[in-house]
Amino acid sequence: MDVLNPLGGGLVAVLSDPATLLWCALGVTIGTLVGALPGIGTVTAMAVLLPLTFGMSPVSALVLLVAIYMGGMFGGRISSILLNIPGDASSVVSTFDGYPLARQGRVGYALTLSAVGSFVGGLMGFAGLALLAAVLAQVAVLFGPAEYLVLVLLVLVLTSSISTASRPKAIMAVGLGVLLSAVGLDRMTGDERFTWGVIDLWDGVDLVVVAIGLFGLSEVFMRLTAGAPVSDVQKVPLRSLFPPASSVLRYTPSMGRGGLVGFGVGIFPGAGASMATFIAYALEKAIGKDRASFGKGNPRGLAAPEAADNASVGGALIPTLSLGIPGSASGALILGGMIMVGLQPGPELFTRSGPVVWAVIAAVLVANVMLLVLNTALVPFFATALRVITPFLTAFIASLCVVGVYSLRGNAVDVVLMVGFGILGYLARRAGFPLTNLLLGLILGAMLEDNLRRALLVSRGDLAVFWSSPMAATLLGVTAVALVALVAQPVWRRYRAAPATEEAHR
């Protein structure tokens, strides 16, 4: 009842105020549209609209920002599924199986499945935020640099283990991604690393630039060299735009697992939705009996990451509200909005400004419902748009890649980098290297280095810091087991195959 009473008050505050509902509807619409445009990003939209919150009531201002945040999570999947161009970093995983589904003529199914998965994940994030905010915020504080380092190592090892590509290629792709994360100024000493004197590389290689190059532009090169007609998207029957509910709800377990992963990862500041979606995808692939179908249009490979993406919103808001530590870049803007309207994030926020905070939490639920209605209603529009642009798809994808990347910073160097990564992605796809592993290495490489150096700095070089705490020791043990399995599994397979080969030669 301690939760239900204030939450009920928050729902009343949102639903009874037409202005707040209008701002919420406007926020989810803007977020969806902006999220679907590669390179723009939810953070950019929130930053641009942040000045509009001046003069607004605290509830309306924060509801607008939260609605844009959630709308961007929903919208990022649209271009990923339709064009194989991720709208933002967290929607990269949606390209793996969402785009193949669209290529198979199942556009409506892919969009509906992703919308429902996003809705389920959003509900789980809302429930976790409402019920567990105070408790889980204390757990998140227990994660120091040593625990983060071991967690990142575990994710990298698991990614290499479950890849359908050859084990050496999977490991090499991860290693290249980690190496790319070192480009730029050293974050502690300020020394240049792999910049070759280019000032624009001081901030490192932008993740969105890499993602659009690897997945979007490489698709253009694949189309140009395949000799296939550009109009290769099958005609979508009208009835397929609204698939039976049973064909979507059968993947509810995958959505549930993805939602749990997304919420859990989202709690930890800096982890972000990108990491959550990769972990959710890796989990589904690891427990699935049909691993070979992942990356070729497996619905589970779309449902789980979408749920993780949106569940991470609720998780990221926990440290933002309870500790004053933003769980993501969008969370940082929400934090700024709270300060602008006179709120002080931290442990006493719920006691000092309880009604406003619970209204913001309730807005997560309201925005989630609005987004489900909006995104399912627009499925025919998205499918028709794809059909209309199909004859010009290769040129459209290429131009969208260039415009999206250039709009990030208005920098031509980013466009050159994107072309370079597009060529790299094309060559990697032809050679059988997993692009997923490369991108994950880039995402986690900076976290790996930063937490390693922080842990050694805090412990004054004592390596025992990595197993001195129970949580770090547990994670390190799991990582060691996964690493042994990574090395031993190919050897065991060759050992088992040897007798069969000898028998065949007799």
CA distance 390 to 382: 12
The amino acid sitting at 213 is: G
∠ CA 353-43-423 to the nearest 5 degrees?
155
CA distance 88 to 315: 19
> Residue 260: its pLDDT value, please?
93
CA distance 349 to 325: 13
Closest CA to 169 of 436, 417, 418: 436
CB half-sphere exposure, 396, CA atoms < 13 A: 17
> Residue 22: its pLDDT value, please?
93
Q: Which domain holds residue 140?
A: 4-505
SS3 192: strand
> Residue 164: its pLDDT value, please?
56
CA distance 86 to 78: 8
> Residue 501: its pLDDT value, please?
54
> Residue 385: its pLDDT value, please?
65
SS3 386: helix
Measured in whole angstroms, the distance separating CA 390 from the mean position of its chain's CA atoms is 27
Which DSSP string do the residues of 113-174 spell out, in sequence order?
A: HHHHHHHHHHHHHHHHHHHHHHHHHHHHHT--HHHHHHHHHHHHHHHHHH-SS-HHHHHHHH
User: Whats the size of the chain, residue-wise?
Assistant: 506
> Residue 258: its pLDDT value, please?
92
pTM for this predicted structure: 0.66
pLDDT means per 10 residues, the chain with 506 residues, are 76 86 90 72 68 79 89 81 76 85 83 89 89 64 77 76 70 86 80 80 78 78 66 50 71 91 79 79 83 84 90 83 69 77 74 82 89 80 63 72 78 87 89 79 80 84 80 82 75 64 54
CA distance 193 to 191: 6
Q: For residue 446, what are the CA distances in angstroms to 126, 153, 160, 202, 269?
A: 29, 12, 18, 14, 14
DSSP state of 216: I
> Residue 51: its pLDDT value, please?
66
Alpha helices for 325-377 (secondary structure H): 329-340, 349-352, 354-377
Contacts of 181 (CB under 8 A, 6+ apart): 204, 205, 441, 442, 443, 444, 445, 446, 448, 449
Split into its structural domains, the chain has a count of 1
